[in-house]
A and B are shown apart, each in its own frame.
Chain A
Amino acid sequence: MSRLRRREALWFYLFASPWVIGFVVFLLGPMIASIYFSLTDWDSFTPPKWVGLDNYVRLLTDDPVFWKALWNTFYYAAISVPLGLVLGLWLANLLNKGIRLRKLFRTLIYLPTLVPLVATAMIFKMVLAPSGPLNDLLGIFGIPGPSWLLEAVWVKPALILLSVWGAGAATVLLLAAMKGIPRELYEAAEVDGASPVRQFWSITVPQLTPIIFFNLIMGLIGAFQVFSQVYILTKGGPDNASQTMVPLLFNEAFSYYHLGYASAISWLLFAVILVFTLIAFRSARRWVFYETEVK
């Protein structure tokens, strides 16, 4: 290697050192420690006690709350993510028509996503109250509204409702992508006599699949890690009906000081996210359309 090349490499390592140090100190080191903790029984006050795979075995075979939390997390992700995408797509399509005041509508739809989660949770605490506006609205139609956050059956739909309120984030991305679809495609379809509905399904949706896929992955990862809403609104109750993986992990770690057990939960969470991401990527080959492949 020439002297100049060596000097350049040295500068690279120097410039990249913040990332390297951060990677070792805040990621790699903690990851290794976390694997070790997950194999111990540890309360942070006395030395860790090696228990092998006991934590994992107990979680998977002997902890009904863990299974409930896992199920609730799936339930939440399986409904909130597709629902948010469908609504986002529908709204983007509406906004994409030659509509007046488009900027105003786009802003109004996007506004809720700018509200920080903590504030969102505070707002929905009031909106979902037994005598809150949502139940008032249902009352107009003669439907007696439930006490959303206090009933085991309704608490998950309530959290999903809260997540759907932020569908505007997907809308903006999808709208931006829609504007990039070549107009000629629609013109050609028009000439062939395709109806607007047919055009939506045969042109708009396939052209948007990459961005839909991106939203799906990010949405799934986010949904599996839902925390603040649950923690603030229900603390996982009633009867663990809204308990999800991360609040459970948080409680085990910082309320009960079961640091080993909590570490095991974090690895199972990682496994779940990994499996779903891989499934999504696998299936993507069948339905995600990349223009570069055709060129």
Chain B
Amino acid sequence: MATAVSTAAATRQVRSTERTVGAKRSTPFSYATLIIVSAVLCVPLVFVVSIALSSDQTVNANTFTIIPREFHWENFTRVFGTELPMQRFLLNSVIISAGAVVGQVLSSGLVGYAFARLRAPGKNAMFIVVIATMMIPSQITMIPQFILFKDLGWVNTYLPLIVPNFFSNAFNVFLVRQFVSRLPSEIDEAAMVDGLGFFGIYRRIMLPMLSPVLIAIAIFTLTATWGDFMGPLIYLNDESKMPLALGVQYITSTSQALQAPPWNLVMVGSILLTLPMILVYYLGQRYLYEMDISGGSAGVK
């Protein structure tokens, strides 16, 4: 492991001192293109900030500009006042996402470890089923699941959005299995000789080692549930239960016909929806790249 790292570092050093070969040479043209593309891609984001900082008069007159001209920072505190239930939306998002993340991390780690290490009759057939389920679009189960949750009396609660996560997701199981497969099995054997049971091995030895992949799973789950629109749209119709992703849209769709939606506050909501994702990406990218599932296809070909 250590040698591989140092070799990689050495190669990198050699590469950086080398004169760049033709295909890699940058030109003023490349810079110009990149600057234009980045600018075009980021214009909508600047526009959002501009709208979020607009006064109510600007909203009513619909005279937004891309570059902000006015700076009504109080819009960011207004949404937490009495005007809109944004505070409630935000709290709901946190509750639902936290529940989902905890569920996926707890269950996927356990199931993935079992598929990687423990031997049992029928395991391989089961794993083929795990892989196969990834192909089934969620829309197939959408209606029966709705009926199930309706019969359980769970509609208009957070439960339909949280509970299924405690039963692991095929992709995450796959990720954990790949990760564990590449850890030397001597670790488990040594632990077993020392008298640890299977759960002990998982809890004390595996779980700490799994942290990069579990953090990655947490990030995937968080981004998926935080931005999820369809799930809350199906299950939550009470405004006080809605997460931000649904609430932001709900505000625009329920404003009076003659009155424009409060676009400035809606965009503040959109920014609140986006900022955690940027933060999560910023803090978590290390784990997403470190996870490196590309090389770990051993055994699934």
Chain B residues with CB below 8 A from A176, complex form: 289
Q: Are A123 and B129 in contact (CB under 8 A)?
A: no
B60 part of interface (Cβ distance < 8 Å) = no
Q: Are A186 and B23 in contact (CB under 8 A)?
A: yes
Partner of B26, one of A15, A99, A117: A99
Q: Are A122 and B270 in contact (CB under 8 A)?
A: yes
Chain B residues with CB below 8 A from A273, complex form: 135, 137
Q: Are A30 and B140 in contact (CB under 8 A)?
A: yes
A21 part of interface (Cβ distance < 8 Å) = yes
Interface stretch of the complex, out of B73-81, B209-217, B272-280 = B272-280
CB distance from A133 to the nearest CB of B (A): 5
Query: Quick one: CB contact mask for B249-282 with A, threshold 8 Å, 1 for yes?
Result: 1001000000000010011001101100110010
CB distance from B103 to the nearest CB of A (A): 9
B148 part of interface (Cβ distance < 8 Å) = yes
Q: Are A15 and B113 in contact (CB under 8 A)?
A: yes
C-alpha spacing A25/B163, complex, angstroms: 12
C-alpha spacing A96/B120, complex, angstroms: 47
Interface stretch of the complex, out of A59-67, A75-83, A146-154, A246-254 = A246-254
Chain A residues with CB below 8 A from B133, complex form: 23, 27
C-alpha spacing A126/B63, complex, angstroms: 11
On whether A267 and B45 interact (CB within 8 A), knowing A19-B167, A21-B167, A95-B34, the answer reads no
B230 part of interface (Cβ distance < 8 Å) = yes
B7 part of interface (Cβ distance < 8 Å) = no
Query: Quick one: CB contact mask for A101-112 with B, threshold 8 Å, 1 for yes?
Result: 000010011111
A294 part of interface (Cβ distance < 8 Å) = no
CB distance from A97 to the nearest CB of B (A): 4
Query: Quick one: CB contact mask for A173-215 with B, threshold 8 Å, 1 for yes?
Result: 0001000000100110110000110011001100000000000
Other 5 A-B pairs with CB < 8 A, given A21-B167, A108-B41, A127-B47:
A12-B120, A91-B37, A112-B42, A118-B246, A187-B21
Binding site for B on A (CB under 8 A): 5, 8-13, 15-16, 18-23, 25-27, 29-31, 33-34, 37, 44, 91, 94-100, 105, 108-112, 114-119, 121-127, 131, 133, 136, 165, 168, 176, 183, 186-187, 189-190, 195-196, 199-200, 203-204, 221, 224-225, 227-228, 231-232, 246, 249-250, 253-254, 259, 262-263, 266-267, 269-270, 273-274, 277
